[in-house]
Amino acid sequence: MEAVVDMEDRRKLLEHMILEFRNICYKGVVKGDQRKTILENVSGRFSPGRLTAILGPSGAGKSSLLNILSGFKKNGVIGSVSINGETVGDETFRSKCVYISQDYDLMDHLTVREIMDYAAELKMPISSSRMVRMKKVSDILDVLGLRQSMTTLVKNLSGGEKKRLSIGMELITNPPIILLDEPTSGLDSVSAMQLVSYIKTLAQEGRTVVSVIHQPASSLFQLFDDLFLLSAGKCIYNGPISGLVGSFSEAGLHCPKYYNRADFALEVASMSSCPGIELLTLKFNNSDAHGRKSSDEDVNYRNSILTPYRNTCLIRKSRRRYPVPQWKQFHVLLRRSLRSTARDFFFAQLRVIAHVVVGILLGVVFYNTGQDASTVMTNTAGLFFFHIFIFYGNAMPCTVTCRLSTVYFMLYILHPSISLSVPSEAKIFVREHLNNWYSLEAYYLAKFFADIPLQLICPTLFVSIGYYLTGQPLEPMRFGMFWAMCLLLGIFAQTVGLLSGAAFDIQMATFFVPSLSIPAMLFSGYFIKSYEMLEFLQPLSYTSFFRYTMQGSLQAIYGYNRTDFPCSQIMCYYNRPSKYLKFMDTPDTGFEYNVYVMLGFIALFQVILYICLRRRLRIFQ
In this prediction the pTM is 0.73
**pLDDT of res. 601:** 95
Instruction: Looking at mean pLDDT, say which of 127-141, 182-196, 406-420, 496-510 comes out highest.
Output: 127-141
Contacts of 595 (CB under 8 A, 6+ apart): 484, 485, 488, 552
Contacts of 414 (CB under 8 A, 6+ apart): 501, 502, 504, 505, 616, 619
Q: Which residue has the higher pLDDT, 422 or 594?
A: 594
Segment 377-398 shows an average pLDDT of 86
Residue type present at position 330: F
Give the HSE-up count for residue 177: Cα atoms under 13 Å, Cβ half-sphere: 25
Query: For residue 415, is pLDDT > 50?
Result: no
| Percent over 70 (pLDDT), the chain | 82
**pLDDT of res. 545:** 93
**pLDDT of res. 379:** 93
In angstroms, the CA 535 to CA 538 distance is 5
Query: For residue 540, is pLDDT > 80?
Result: yes
Query: For residue 300, is pLDDT > 90?
Result: no
Point out the least confidently predicted range of 148-162, 245-259, 310-324, 421-435: 310-324
Residue type present at position 58: S
Residue from 177, 117, 101, 201 nearest 151 by CA: 117
- Alpha helix positions (H), 144-292: 159-170, 189-204, 218-221, 244-250, 261-269, 275-284
3-state secondary structure at position 37: strand
Query: For residue 206, is pLDDT > 90?
Result: no
Segment 443-455 shows an average pLDDT of 84
| Percent over 90 (pLDDT), the chain | 23
Q: Are 54 and 210 in contact (CB under 8 A)?
A: yes
3-state secondary structure at position 220: helix
Residue from 340, 527, 417 nearest 103 by CA: 417
